[in-house]
């Protein structure tokens, strides 16, 4: 039987997942990664750790399943987006990779807007300049580490460094490339205009490929290190959110993917690029050939609940913590939570934004606070939905929800009521790695296209419908929630300044 391997190099781990020709998961293995924060606001990793994590996970899944390596017909890659990996002429890493959640590049974002103009930048790339993206990181290295900058020969994203170690080839997928702020999102190729304006040599960037295209094959050295078969095709794959969308079947226009993980993502597939005029949403190429997607990202979604549990109810399991919230009315009797615990992206691209509880009275119990956290995250995700509607994406047929937070029936109901949409769950729970494996299978010819693959492998397993009375109640509380950030913005920034001093 043919098998297909998906490799997901996230911020916290590298997962290797095998599926068979029916799309069933045959096995998976995960190797944890560590994160370095050498200075405040910095976030880095050693690319060598990604490769060692990939080697370890591949070996484990082969050993655990007993599947011969020659039955693996293709490999797909996915992983964290935006990270800056710099190589010299010999292909050696020049410095630790600067990751998506690194916040050091505020001045460089301002410089990018000044060089291109914000409106033109958004028109070309589909995005505003944010600290998470790759382009401002390149400018930071030029300004702060000129000796390293002078040695640059190639720039790769994290998953594409694993691709390089697997195949000896430089390549990237168009979805990941769109997250660098250097791609013309409409033409799906590197933007000469942006590269020239930022004085970044085009030769430093790898060729771009659609998600199902073969970019190379497993080399002798990689075969020896991993146990994979020499010459196994490696397809382009996609950035983590695009591959996650493939993994839950959000590939057709009108089907929305809502991911309730550490961060929260609202992801809408589209047949053409939808660009929010102010750049408050991300407009990227999809991992599905010839399609695009619009995406809103809140940085602390289920991460907010984890922080709340670990800080205020340590040792309590989530089911026990959430159970009493079923008896609390919508709006938590006037208690609101602003979930900006690590800054925010959508709808406010503000790394200095802070979280808050507002409206506290002696009436409020722990159950009120818990429900307020669930509701605050739902309100934050609704902000992304509202921006999408404002940008013209009004034909929403279905919302597919996934991620750790989506396991809670209470939270799913709150989301359905706040968003006023039907939420559905699907039979796949392996996320981006599963999507990467499906892309590999399509690239190897197991299915003619991604639509056919997802229709064959992904089925709906449950539905949560909005309740009219609760929807009406949440409309009033959402209106108050939207006033919190403007009211607290200056205070948040001032507190950040006082803390840094």
Tokens of 193: 């205009």
What are φ and ψ of residue 235, in 5° steps?
-95, 165
Contact 461, 39 (CB under 8 A): no
- Beta strands at 25-32 and 13-20: parallel, antiparallel or unpaired: antiparallel
Q: From CA 336, how far away is CA 126, in angstroms rounded? A: 32
What are φ and ψ of residue 139, in 5° steps?
-65, -35
**Token pair 């108050």 is at which residue?**
480
**Catalytic residue (choose from 240, 317, 417, 449):** 240
Q: How far is CA 217 from the centre of its chain?
A: 26
Burial 385-413 (b: 16+ CB within 10 A, else e): bbbbeebebeebebbbbbbbbbbbebbbb
240 classed as catalytic:
yes
Burial class of residue 494 (count of CB atoms within 10 Å of its CB; 0-12, 13-18, 19+)? exposed
Question: In three state form, how does the secondary structure of 283-295 look?
Answer: EEECCCCCCEEEE
Q: From CA 58, how far away is CA 255, in angstroms rounded? A: 32
**Sequence-separated (6 or more) residues with CB below 8 Å from residue 339:** 298, 300, 301, 304, 355, 373, 376, 377, 380
Q: Identify the bridge partners of residue 257 per DSSP, sorted by sequence position.
A: 267, 400
**Token pair 């809502």 is at which residue?**
258
CA distances from 54 to 48, 57, 96, 209 (A): 10, 5, 17, 22
Contact 8, 54 (CB under 8 A): no
Contact 322, 408 (CB under 8 A): yes
Q: From CA 414, how far away is CA 421, in angstroms rounded? A: 11
Burial class of residue 186 (count of CB atoms within 10 Å of its CB; 0-12, 13-18, 19+)? middle
DSSP 442-490: HHTTSSSSHHHHHHHH--EEEEE---HHHHHHHHHHHHHHTTHHHHHHH
Q: From CA 439, how far away is CA 218, in angstroms rounded? A: 17
Burial class of residue 150 (count of CB atoms within 10 Å of its CB; 0-12, 13-18, 19+)? exposed
What are φ and ψ of residue 26, in 5° steps?
-90, -25
| Catalytic site positions | 240
């Amino acid at each position: 039987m043919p098998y297909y391997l998906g490799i997901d190099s996230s911020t916290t781990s590298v997962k290797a997942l095998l599926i068979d020709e029916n799309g069933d998961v045959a096995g998976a293995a995960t190797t944890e990664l560590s994160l370095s924060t050498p200075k405040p606001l910095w976030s880095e990793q050693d690319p060598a750790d990604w490769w060692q994590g990939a080697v370890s996970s591949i070996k484990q899944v082969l050993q655990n399943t007993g599947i011969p390596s020659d039955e693996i017909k293709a490999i797909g890659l996915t992983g964290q987006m935006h990270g800056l990996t710099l190589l010299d002429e010999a292909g050696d890493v020049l410095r630790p990779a600067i990751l998506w959640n690194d916040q050091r590049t505020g001045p460089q974002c301002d410089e990018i807007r000044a060089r291109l103009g914000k409106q033109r930048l958004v028109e070309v790339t589909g995005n505003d300049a944010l600290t998470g993206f790759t382009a401002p990181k390149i400018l930071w290295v030029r300004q702060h580490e000129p000796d390293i900058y002078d040695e640059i020969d190639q720039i790769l994203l994290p998953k594409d460094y694993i691709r390089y170690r697997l195949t000896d080839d430089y390549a990237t997928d168009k979805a990941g490339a769109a997250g660098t702020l250097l791609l013309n999102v409409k033409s799906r190729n590197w933007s000469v205009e942006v590269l020239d304006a930022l004085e970044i040599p085009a030769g430093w960037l790898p060729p771009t490929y659609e998600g199902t295209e073969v970019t190379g094959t497993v080399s002798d050295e990689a075969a020896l290190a991993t146990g994979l078969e020499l010459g196994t095709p490696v397809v382009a794959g996609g950035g983590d959110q695009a591959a996650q969308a493939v993994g839950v079947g959000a590939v057709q226009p009108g089907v929305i993917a809502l991911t309730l993980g550490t961060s929260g993502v609202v992801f809408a597939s589209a047949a053409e690029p939808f660009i929010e005029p102010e750049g408050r949403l991300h407009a990227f190429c999809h991992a599905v050939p010839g399609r695009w997607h619009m995406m809103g990202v809140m940085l602390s979604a289920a991460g907010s609940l984890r922080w709340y549990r670990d800080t205020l109810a340590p040792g309590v399991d989530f089911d026990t913590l959430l159970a009493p919230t079923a008896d609390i009315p919508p709006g938590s009797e006037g208690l609101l939570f602003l979930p900006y615990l690590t800054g925010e992206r959508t709808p406010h691209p503000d790394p200095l934004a802070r979280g808050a509880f507002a409206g506290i009275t002696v009436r409020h119990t722990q159950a009120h606070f818990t429900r307020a956290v669930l509701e605050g995250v739902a309100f934050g995700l609704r902000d992304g939905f509202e921006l999408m509607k404002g940008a013209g994406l009004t034909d929403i047929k279905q919302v597919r929800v996934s991620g750790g937070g989506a396991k809670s029936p209470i939270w799913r109901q709150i989301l359905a009521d706040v968003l006023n949409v039907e939420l559905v769950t699907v039979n796949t729970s392996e996320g981006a790695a599963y999507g990467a494996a499906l892309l590999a299978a399509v690239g190897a010819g197991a299915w003619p296209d991604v639509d056919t693959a997802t229709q064959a492998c992904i089925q709906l397993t449950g539905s949560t419908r909005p309740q009219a009375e609760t929807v009406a109640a949440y409309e009033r509380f959402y209106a108050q929630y939207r006033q919190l950030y403007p009211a607290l913005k200056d205070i948040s920034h001032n507190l950040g300044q006082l803390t840094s001093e």
